């Protein structure tokens, strides 16, 4: 596949604003001549594509503040109040058709479910992917339990974050709108624990580090993302912490912990610091970036590309506060077989000198 084709394929993840952040912050200022009015009615009068019920649920979830303090629905606004409303971003316009799919549900109760996503499955319908997505399967699963459920009652069928098509691992979904809002606020506040395992090209001088750099669309290749100066006006703040787990000569096994969740964040940040993910065919990891010129080594790497036919990234740990009970929840997912086999292959190489002869 050519680079142009690879970039074109990113449309399924980026063209509709693909990102973990599904809520946006709206700031409203109350004019000096404003008459006393309930805050839910005030917000309704100043926003579009929302409802009073949705605003009241947001207030209940702590997603509305007045002058920096969470408010109640019966609060009456006063002149010069500063209101912040965390609202879900405009939903995608693609109809979600429930489909019976084989979902790997690792936990479920009356309010949430945690799913272990396989490689190759898109999370939400989008351009070029109208069926077979995780949310198509979740919609079927929820309708089996709640026949009258719909997107109008539960936007995106409970999706509050997402991961790339070829990234494997854990996602949490909500089964009610109030649960969705409370989970989404945790993602917005960056209090969710998200740890990924990745195999990247090259070795590191330090065993731990932090990458800071805003992420936005590439200036020329609009279906890709790029890194821009931290603290600048272009792009959204993005912070990735990493820890080296194992040095295998020309590749490294690392753990990445997300403080933010931007589009392709780990993939773009790692490319930015010279450590593209192994076999990332969009961000430069699908060719030999470190190593020798010997034929045996090239054959070895080609074999490795064949073992893991995607970027080597797995969402391993997901921790959050249960949106209803307040209980601390933490889940861990085993590495999928393709990454396990890939890592073992490189681990064996790291102790074998014959490939450099």
Q: Count CA within 13 A, CB hemisphere, residue 253.
A: 15
d(CA 254, CA 276): 12
pLDDT at 340: 98
What residues contact 292, with CB distance under 8 A and at least 6 apart? 355, 356
Judging by beta carbons within 10 Å of its beta carbon (0-12, 13-18, 19+), is residue 339 exposed, middle or buried?
A: buried
Q: How many CB atoms are closer than 10 A to CB 5?
A: 9
Q: What are phi and psi of 201, to 5 degrees?
A: -75, 140
The confidence score (pLDDT) of residue 153 equals: 84
Residue 94 confidence (pLDDT): 66
- Go through the domains of the chain in sequence order and give each one's CATH number: 3-20+92-189 (3.30.2350.10), 23-88 (3.10.290.10), 194-356 (3.30.2350.10)
Q: What is the per-residue pLDDT for 297?
A: 95
- The pLDDT averaged over each successive group of 10 residues in the chain (357 residues) is 50 44 78 93 86 86 89 94 79 77 98 98 85 96 94 88 95 94 88 97 97 90 85 87 97 96 94 97 96 93 98 98 97 98 96 64
Catalytic residue annotation: 164
Output 245-250 pairs: Cβ under 8 A, ≥24 positions apart: 245/197, 246/347, 247/203, 247/204, 247/350, 248/346, 248/347, 248/349, 248/350, 249/203, 249/291, 249/349, 249/350, 250/201, 250/202, 250/203, 250/290, 250/291
Neighbours of 238 (CB within 10 A): 27
Q: What's the Cα-to-Cα distance from 274 to each of 129, 200, 251, rounded to whole Å?
A: 32, 9, 12
Query: If you search the block for the tokens 């089964």, which residue do you land on?
Result: 175
Q: Give CA–CA dist 96/15, Å, rounded.
A: 17
Determine the pLDDT at residue 356: 58
Tell me what pLDDT residue 145 has: 96
| Strand boundaries in the chain, DSSP class E | 23-29, 64-66, 69-70, 82-88, 105-108, 112-117, 168-174, 193-201, 208-212, 214-217, 225-228, 239-248, 251-258, 313-321, 328-332
Q: Say what the pLDDT of residue 319 is.
A: 98
DSSP code string of 36-59: P-BHHHHHHHH-SS--HHHHHHHH
For residue 353, how far is the Cα from the chain centroid?
39
Q: What is the pLDDT of residue 63?
A: 84
């Amino acid at each position: 596949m050519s680079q142009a084709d690879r970039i074109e394929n990113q449309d399924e993840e980026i063209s509709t604003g693909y990102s973990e952040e599904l809520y946006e912050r709206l700031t409203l200022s109350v004019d000096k001549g404003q008459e006393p009015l309930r805050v839910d009615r005030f917000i309704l009068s100043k926003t579009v594509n929302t409802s009073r019920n949705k605003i009241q649920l947001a207030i209940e979830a702590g997603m509305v503040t007045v002058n920096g303090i969470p408010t109640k629905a019966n609060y009456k606004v006063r002149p010069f109040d500063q209101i912040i409303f965390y609202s879900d971003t405009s939903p995608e316009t693609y109809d979600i058709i429930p489909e019976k799919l084989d979902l790997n549900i690792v936990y479920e109760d009356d309010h949430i479910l945690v799913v272990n996503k396989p490689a190759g499955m898109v999370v939400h319908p989008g351009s070029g992917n109208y069926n077979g997505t995780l949310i198509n399967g979740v919609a079927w699963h929820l309708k089996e339990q709640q026949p009258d459920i719909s997107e109008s009652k539960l936007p995106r069928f409970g999706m509050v974050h997402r991961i790339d098509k070829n990234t494997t691992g854990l996602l949490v979904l909500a089964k009610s709108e109030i649960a969705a809002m409370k989970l989404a606020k945790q993602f917005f506040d960056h209090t969710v624990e998200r740890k990924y395992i990745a195999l990247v090209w090259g070795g590191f001088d330090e065993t731990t580090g932090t990458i800071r750099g805003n992420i936005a669309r590439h200036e020329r290749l609009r279906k890709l993302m790029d890194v821009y100066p931290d603290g600048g006006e272009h792009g959204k703040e993005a912070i990735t912490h990493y820890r080296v787990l194992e040095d295998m000569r020309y590749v490294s096994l690392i753990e990445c912990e997300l403080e933010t969740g931007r589009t392709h964040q780990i993939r773009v940040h790692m490319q930015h610091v010279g450590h593209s993910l192994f076999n990332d065919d969009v961000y430069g990891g699908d060719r030999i970036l470190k190593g020798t010129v010997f034929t045996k080594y090239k054959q070895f790497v080609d074999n490795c590309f064949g073992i893991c036919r995607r970027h080597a990234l797995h969402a391993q740990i997901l921790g959050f506060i249960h949106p209803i009970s307040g209980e601390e929840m933490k889940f861990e997912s085993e590495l999928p077989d393709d990454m396990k086999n890939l890592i073992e292959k490189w681990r064996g190489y790291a102790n074998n000198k014959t490939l450099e002869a």
